[in-house]
Amino acid sequence: MLMHIVTFAVLVLSLRPADGFPNYKDDYMDEDLATFDYYKDTGEFDEGNRTQHCEECVPELCPLPLGCRAGLVRDSCGCCSQCANLEGQTCDLGQRNVYYGLCGENLECKLDRSDEADGEEPEAQCVCLSQKPLCGSDGQTYINICKYKEAAYSNPGLNVSDGPCRTVPIIKVPPHNLVNATGSSIAFLCEVFAFPMAQVEWRKDGKEVILPGDDPHISVQSRGGPQKYELSSWLQIEEASQMDSGTYRCIARNELGHVSATAILGVLPPGKIYTLSCNGLP
């Protein structure tokens, strides 16, 4: 019995880490013992001191990528297919899939220089090669071919034609109800999409006049954007009084029709607005 125990102990002690774990290696292992042919090093990427090792490519063992709305690209080892990055996602510059991934069909990886204005290091993002709008057979306007391709993935029968879809105005961002104190400045925002482009006007319920009218403390400002075929309009009230309380209406119209959205303004007497402090919060 003692002889069997000794024999078993010798067998256990004679096992080397590499025999049971062919991928095992540590800094104290003999270099010859740690050298194997199982892996083939096809590239490196910098992430601290980490090095990527790629196995011998066996396409039959590759997982099937699903839900790839921007098409397929090769993985970092150049073996298996994986989902390409969508518009706006972070990406690897150049043609090498290193860390963030490669952009999909009709996309290219570019540095976003707008980050530099904020003192940040520019980040590479996928940008669509074409910014021409398309009209889908579903009646939706797609700002570029990349957005259309994303939608077509889940709707294979979707077709498009050049240019935006003709549509009555759509209020994408309606004005919101506001409550403020007498003497404060107040602004309502209304964002509208339409093609042909819409005209936006403001009215106060119960009055026929289109704002600002001749009221010196009310002004209306409009500009294009934030996207193509959109218009942003602001109604601003300086030194608001209780007389300004009421319901305000944003009205957008073009040759195909018109829509509107309302918001209520409440102007309280001085001393009726209380400021809550959150002292001691982390």
More confident residue, 57 or 2: 57
| Strands of 230-237's sheet in order across | 167-173, 186-195, 230-237, 218-224
Q: Decide: helix, strand or coil at residue 164.
A: coil
Average pLDDT, the chain: 81
Q: What is the C-alpha radius of gyration for the chain, rounded to an integer number of angstroms?
A: 32
Q: How many other C-beta atoms can be found within 10 angstroms of the C-beta atom of residue 95?
A: 9
Under the banding of pLDDT at 50, 70 and 90, the label for residue 3 is very low
pLDDT tens digits, 76-108 = 889 999 999 999 999 999 888 888 999 999 999
Residue 32 has pLDDT above 80, yes or no: no
Q: How far apart are CA 213 and CA 208, in angstroms?
A: 10
Least confident of 40-54, 121-135, 201-215, 244-258: 40-54
**Structural domains of the chain, ranges and CATH numbers in brackets:** 134-165 (no CATH), 168-268 (2.60.40.10)
Residue 46 has pLDDT above 80, yes or no: no
Share of the chain above pLDDT 70, in %: 76
